């Protein structure tokens, strides 16, 4: 890689790639259309991207389809379920409200993107309305939509993500316990952690 191959301006970038397809611009809306609502309501998995003083963060969120609730055409609500209390996403939001959500639906090639601004709400009644297995989320992430648009199938098609033939044998990769043990400054039994985790997850998933 040489300096003369680095693209360092918008003008260079647009000249290198050419004109944008008008349809790629037409699909961008400032609210949830009926078609876009259908994607939000069917999605059980969302990637949530935020930014803070330390940099960027991208975190997975998942629950039964429809766990991201549509409040109105420009507002969606997402429960913040029990986690490890790193709070990376939430710490970013309280300092910089910019947020991006990527909705994925198993077996579907298209994804849906929402860009906007977020706030964290701890209203007890609102949190209770998202209860699962008798447990309320600690807070709800309220996102106001600036733009929303769908992404075509190319990325998921290239990755073969939804194909059963593409699934990776979990035993070929390090386990959570092995990784934690290798990085822990204190004595940590990774094998016992892995053995106990399925039962632990049942008790703590909500």
Domain locations along the chain: 23-159, 168-204
Confidence of residue 138 (pLDDT cuts 50, 70, 90): very high
The more confidently predicted of residues 156 and 21 is: 156
In the prediction, which pLDDT does 40 show? 98
Q: Which residue has the tokens 């939509």?
A: 145
pTM for this entry = 0.93
3: pLDDT strictly greater than 80: no
Q: Bridge partners of 145?
A: 116
Distance CA 70, CA 183 (A): 40
Kindly give, in sequence order, each residue whose CB lies less than 8 Å from that of residue 118, ignoring residues fewer than 6 positions away: 50, 93, 97, 98, 99, 141, 142, 143, 144
Q: What is the pLDDT of residues 25-59, one digit of tens each?
A: 889 999 999 999 999 999 999 999 999 999 999 99
Kindly give, in sequence order, each residue whose CB lies less than 8 Å from that of residue 15, ignoring residues fewer than 6 positions away: none
Q: Calculate mean pLDDT across residues 1-30.
A: 89
Q: In what order do the strands lie in the sheet with 45-52?
A: 55-62, 45-52, 98-104, 111-121, 139-151, 75-80, 69-72
In the prediction, which pLDDT does 179 show? 97
Structural domain 23-159, CATH architecture: Roll (2.30)
Distances (CA, A) of 82 to 11, 148, 150, 200: 45, 28, 29, 13
**Six-digit token pair at 17?**
């790639």
């Amino acid at each position: 890689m040489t300096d003369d191959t680095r693209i360092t301006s918008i003008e260079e970038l647009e000249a290198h790639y050419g004109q944008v397809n008008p349809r790629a611009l037409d699909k961008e809306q400032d609210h949830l259309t009926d078609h876009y609502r259908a994607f939000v309501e069917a999605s059980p998995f969302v990637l949530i991207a935020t930014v803070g003083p330390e940099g960027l963060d991208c975190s997975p969120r998942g629950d039964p389809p429809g766990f991201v609730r549509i409040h109105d055409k420009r507002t969606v609500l997402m429960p913040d379920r029990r986690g490890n209390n790193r709070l990376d996403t939430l710490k970013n939001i309280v300092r910089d409200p910019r947020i991006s959500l990527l909705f994925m639906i198993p077996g579907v090639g298209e994804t849906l993107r929402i860009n906007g601004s977020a706030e964290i709400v701890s209203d007890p009644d609102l949190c209770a309305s998202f209860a699962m297995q008798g447990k309320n989320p600690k807070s709800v992430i309220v996102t106001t939509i600036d733009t929303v648009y769908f992404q075509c199938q190319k990325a998921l098609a290239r990755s073969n993500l939804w194909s059963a033939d593409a699934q990776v044998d979990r035993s070929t990769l390090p386990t959570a316990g092995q990784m934690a043990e290798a990085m822990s400054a204190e004595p940590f039994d990774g094998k016992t952690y892995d053995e106990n985790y399925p039962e632990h997850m049942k008790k703590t998933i909500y």
